[in-house]
Amino acid sequence: MAPEAESSRDTDWDGVRLHIVTGKGGTGKTTVAAALALALAAEGRRVLLAEVEGRQGISQTFDVTPLGLTEVRIAHAANGGEVFGLSVDAKAALLEYLQMYYKLGRAGGVLEKFGAIDFATTIAPGVRDVLLTGKVYEAVRRRREHRAKGPGAPPAYDAVVVDAPPTGRVVRFLNVNHEVADLARVGPIRSQANSITAMLKSPQTAVHLVTLLEEMPVQETVDTIAELRAVGMPIGGVVVNQVREEILTRNVLGAAARNAISREDVAADLTRVHVRATNAIIDGLLTEARDHAERVNLERDEAQVIASLSRPTYRLPSLSEGVDANGIREMAETLMTQGMA
Amino acid sequence: MSPVLDIDALIGDPQIRIIVCCGAGGVGKTTTAAALGLRAAESGRQVVVLTIDPARRLAQSLGLTMLDNTPRPVKDIDIARGGSLDAMMLDMKRTFDEVVEAHATAEKAEQILANPFYQAVSSSFAGTQEYMAMEKLGQLRLEADRDPDNPRWDLIVVDTPPSRSALDFLDAPKRLGSFLDGRFIRLLSAPAKAGGRAYLKVFSAGVNVVTKTLTKVLGGQMLSDVQTFVAALDTMFGGFRKRADHTYALLSDRTTTFIVVAAPERDALREASFFVDRLDEEAMPLAGLVINRMYRVSAPGLSAARALGAAEELGERESEHSAGAESSGVSEHTAITQGLLRMHAVQAEVAARHESLAKRFIAGHPDIPTAEVPAASGDIHDLVGLRAVGEALAGH
């Protein structure tokens, strides 16, 4: 029986089956993609988490053995859900593609021997991205092995999450058709690229952006949204990662920034609880507070820039222990609470 | 204790002519390269900084409005010691076009530049950027030494492309080289040459299979574009190959040194490890590792645990005093002190985590000199900020 799990949860992305996660380097897009996959897999769903740059970021995040060419289960989600992992490899995708569409048993090997496969996957412009996105396309469309195989069978995956290239390269990556169109005006590569682009631009896809509350990642988020819009890619949510806990109130931050916190009061308080109130410690604490206030101010400005984008926005707290498998689960919970999944 | 990376000794060494900054994306490579360049220039060297970054970040931090594939002087630097600083951003396509123009006849160059396959390769082939970065580095080096008595630059600082992997910078030229030397390129170029058929006979019967498959998959038109492109470039291949080899040799030269940049994060440090090992394998000169954005507390004498405990104790004392009175807690100034202590505890934990990540890396690479740059509380986008980073790099 096909599980009628649809609409048991009300999320911001109902109907989206392909989630593309990008962000500037260092913003934690891989961990956010992993958390999103876990969140989407809750309640018995099957989710594929795919990386396309061969970095093995997924296996490292989930602390499992490096991903190979087959999809393997990497995590159980809440209530029986499953996350599968795949490191998409351009060469394998090409051989699979040739096999699937051209039934090229022997020719595949010959092409390999002549360096044609290397040429296509590393040097020919755009082809590599067609192959990588093509594999994602295949996974989204694949149907489960089922008695009623064909259009009646449920999809192999309820959702596919892609840990995509960083913001600087993601639009070119997704907009494969554009590049290939100049080269292959007709022919099978052209039609393959067209089908992929049609899916990527459809409402079943969303491109999410991960950022930190820092100037450059936010600027790249703004730029990338504009670029995505220009090429007609569906823009998803903005995930603000590593949000600091608010420890000091607005008043205290203001006082810290103005150097208006009384040293004597702080010294007296410290002495009361037997902390040695040396000048070094008091100056240190006040400097920390002033730096912190400066940073909080900058973060507030950046948060405003993000708000002005009018995209659904999610906030993931900074995990003080760093990100491990448990941290990912915590992040997944937060994303679910906030309605991303 | 691992050795300390002495940045001032490095930029003060006239033997060092090229510094390559590499590392994962988002670790502050560009900022490090710019800060190094500025510090070297202000200490008296004639410096050019080559950056390869689409976000034009160096442009902002160096106050440049135009980065157009030509080195431009950076204004407002301190020239008291006789140094100078130029900066440029790589324009990948233009660099490629210039190579074509320099190595082919005017007629042939025009033919190549108009080929759709060339246009795609020159603007988007994954790896063109790395190859062209190498090419530009080679050009800058030639330009620097054009007049040996009066070199235009005596130090080139290179920021590497924001690649999938930091290793791509080293691999791309080789990859292109092996492609240019390979059978496939000969197969592609052969039919366009006179006597190509005979030449093809040297290959096995597999040729037919390959050509047929390529026609089927690529379509006849794309295949013929590729063939025209390859045939047109044919005469230049020797030059390409030689230049790639030459630049690669330049990188392993004693006058070159690498700085691996990382941030105190697991992934960035792992990438740094790969790179360090790789440089070692290739016998490339590594100056050391820079760990950027190290979080440091200003009151290191107070541990996180002690600060938290003190914050709590303050709360308890106050509620003892005010028992019976209004129940809600503490006086205003005590609330401030509590806040400071809690904030310190959080920051001390982050600092400790960064410290332990850095330590772990150092333990794994005990011989590699390292420098740590503390996290700035604001973003860096001017010379003042870059100067401060330079100071920190030098350990001041």
Judging contacts by C-beta atoms under 8 Å, the chain B residues touching residue A105 are none
| Record: contact A255-B26, CB cut-off 8 A | no
- Let me know whether A322 and A275 are in one domain: no
Choosing among A183, A227, A265, A295, which should be mutated to test the B contact, i.e. which has the most B CBs within 10 A? A183
d(CA A124, CA B185): 12
- Using CB atoms within 10 Å of the CB of residue A287, give its burial: 0 to 12 exposed, 13 to 18 middle, 19+ buried: middle
- Let me know whether A141 and A67 are in one domain: yes
| Record: contact B339-A247, CB cut-off 8 A | yes
| Alpha-carbon Rg for chain B in angstroms | 27
Q: Which of B116, B175, B298 sits opposite A122 (nearest CB)?
A: B175
Q: Is A203 in contact with A15 (CB distance < 8 Å)?
A: yes
- Chain A nearest-CA distance from B121, in A, is 6
- The token pair at B216 is 């089927």
For residue A187, give the chain B residue with the closest CA: B219
Sequence-separated contacts (24+) of A224-229 with Cβ below 8 Å = A224/A22, A224/A167, A224/A170, A224/A171, A225/A309, A225/A311, A227/A171, A228/A171, A228/A174
- Let me know whether A267 and A190 are in one domain: no
d(CA A200, CA A186): 20
- Let me know whether A105 and A168 are in one domain: yes
Which among A163, A202, A203 is positioned nearest to A23, based on CA atoms?
Answer: A163
Provide the CA A221 distance to its chain's centre, in angstroms: 13
SS3 B87: strand
Question: Strand (E) positions, chain B?
Answer: 18-22, 46-51, 72-73, 84-89, 155-159, 256-262, 286-294, 370-374
Within chain B, which residues score under 70 in pLDDT? 1, 53-61, 63-67, 124-127, 162-167, 172-173, 176-177, 179-181, 189-206, 232-240, 321-329
Give me the pLDDT at residue B333, please: 86
- The token pair at A266 is 């702080």
Between A174 and A105, whose confidence is greater? A174
For residue A106, give the chain B residue with the closest CA: B209
Q: Which of B226, B340, B346 sits opposite A245 (nearest CB)?
A: B346
For residue B375, give the chain A residue with the closest CA: A291
Q: What are the DSSP calls for A311-325, one per residue?
A: --EEEEEPPTT---H
Choosing among B56, B168, B340, B380, which should be mutated to test the A contact, i.e. which has the most A CBs within 10 A? B340
d(CA B278, CA B272): 10
Which residues have C-beta within 8 Å of that of residue A260, sequence separation ≥ 6?
A254
d(CA B296, CA B150): 44
Residue span of the structural domain in which A260 resides? 246-311
Give me the pLDDT at residue B198, please: 46
A4 pLDDT higher than 50:
no
Q: Which of A30, A272, A287 sits opposite B314 (nearest CB)?
A: A272
Judging contacts by C-beta atoms under 8 Å, the chain B residues touching residue A94 are none
- Let me know whether A67 and A37 are in one domain: yes
Which among B28, B27, B73 is positioned nearest to B47, based on CA atoms?
Answer: B73
Q: pLDDT tens-digit profile of A257-293?
A: 999 999 999 999 999 999 999 999 999 999 999 999 9
Q: Is A56 in contact with B266 (CB distance < 8 Å)?
A: no
Q: Which of B126, B175, B310 sits opposite A273 (nearest CB)?
A: B310
Neighbouring C-alpha atoms within 13 Å toward the C-beta of A95: 16
For residue A217, give the chain B residue with the closest CA: B26
Q: Which of A24, A115, A184 sits opposite B183 (nearest CB)?
A: A115
d(CA A324, CA B362): 22
| Record: contact A298-B347, CB cut-off 8 A | no
- Chain A nearest-CA distance from B252, in A, is 25
Q: What are the DSSP calls for A228-280, one per residue?
A: HHHHTPPEEEEEEEEEPP--S-HHHHHHHHTT-S-HHHHHHHHHHTT----HH
Instruction: Give Dmax over CA atoms of chain A in angstroms.
Output: 84
> Residue A136: which CATH number?
3.40.50.300
User: Does residue A255 sit within a domain?
Assistant: yes
pLDDT band (50, 70, 90) for residue A194: confident
ipTM score here? 0.82
Report, as an integer, the average pLDDT of A303-311.
97
Sheet holding A159-163, edge to edge: A72-76, A82-87, A46-51, A159-163, A18-23, A205-211, A235-243, A313-317
Between B24 and A155, whose confidence is greater? A155
d(CA A287, CA A283): 6
Give me the pLDDT at residue B36, please: 96
| Record: contact B209-A291, CB cut-off 8 A | no
Q: pLDDT tens-digit profile of A89-139?
A: 988 888 888 787 777 666 677 777 777 787 777 766 667 888 899 999 999
- Let me know whether A63 and A198 are in one domain: yes
- Let me know whether A187 and A269 are in one domain: no
- Let me know whether A180 and A279 are in one domain: no
- Torsional class of A111: left (φ above 0), alpha (ψ -120 to 50), beta (otherwise): alpha
Choosing among A251, A285, A297, which should be mutated to test the B contact, i.e. which has the most B CBs within 10 A? A285
Beta bridge partners of A84: A48, A73
Judging contacts by C-beta atoms under 8 Å, the chain B residues touching residue A279 are none
Give me the pLDDT at residue A145, please: 78
Judging contacts by C-beta atoms under 8 Å, the chain B residues touching residue A110 are 206, 209-210, 213
Give me the pLDDT at residue B267, please: 81
Beta bridge partners of B155: B47
Give me the pLDDT at residue A5, please: 45
| Record: contact A298-B265, CB cut-off 8 A | no
User: Does residue A237 sit within a domain?
Assistant: yes
d(CA B254, CA B257): 7
- Let me know whether A282 and A176 are in one domain: no
User: Does residue A286 sit within a domain?
Assistant: yes
- Using CB atoms within 10 Å of the CB of residue A151, give its burial: 0 to 12 exposed, 13 to 18 middle, 19+ buried: exposed
A242 pLDDT higher than 50:
yes
CA-to-CA dists, residue A201 to A48, A174, A204, B117, B276, angstroms: 20, 9, 8, 26, 41
Choosing among A113, A288, A292, A319, which should be mutated to test the B contact, i.e. which has the most B CBs within 10 A? A288
Size of interface A-B (CB pairs under 8 A): 235
- Chain A nearest-CA distance from B116, in A, is 6
Give me the pLDDT at residue A210, please: 98
For residue B124, give the chain A residue with the closest CA: A125
pTM of the predicted protein model: 0.87
Identity of the amino acid at B343: M
d(CA A19, CA A12): 12
- Let me know whether A173 and A153 are in one domain: yes
| Record: contact A189-B301, CB cut-off 8 A | no
- Let me know whether A78 and A143 are in one domain: yes
State the average pLDDT for chain A. 88
Instruction: Name the CATH superfamily for B7-181+247-295+375-393.
Output: P-loop containing nucleotide triphosphate hydrolases (3.40.50.300)
The helix (run of H) or strand (run of E) holding residue A138 is helix A127-141
Sheet holding B155-159, edge to edge: B72-73, B84-89, B46-51, B155-159, B18-22, B256-262, B286-294, B370-374
User: Does residue A1 sit within a domain?
Assistant: no
User: Does residue A8 sit within a domain?
Assistant: no
Report, as an integer, the average pLDDT of A190-205.
90
Task: Tell me phi and psi for residue A203, to 5 degrees.
Answer: -65, -10
- Using CB atoms within 10 Å of the CB of residue B171, give its burial: 0 to 12 exposed, 13 to 18 middle, 19+ buried: middle
- Let me know whether A256 and A171 are in one domain: no
Neighbouring C-alpha atoms within 13 Å toward the C-beta of B113: 18
Q: Is B77 in contact with B41 (CB distance < 8 Å)?
A: yes
CA-to-CA dists, residue A320 to A37, A243, B173, B349, angstroms: 22, 11, 41, 7
Q: What are the DSSP calls for A146-201, one per residue?
A: -TT-STTSPBS-SEEEEEPPPHHHHHHHHTHHHHHHHH-SSSHHHHHHHHHHHHHT
| Record: contact B217-A102, CB cut-off 8 A | yes
- Chain A nearest-CA distance from B69, in A, is 19
How many domains would you assign to chain A?
2
pLDDT-wise least confident of A47-61, A121-135, A191-205: A121-135
Dihedral, CA of residue A57, residue A59, residue A60 and residue A66, to nearest 10? -100
| Record: contact B353-A215, CB cut-off 8 A | no
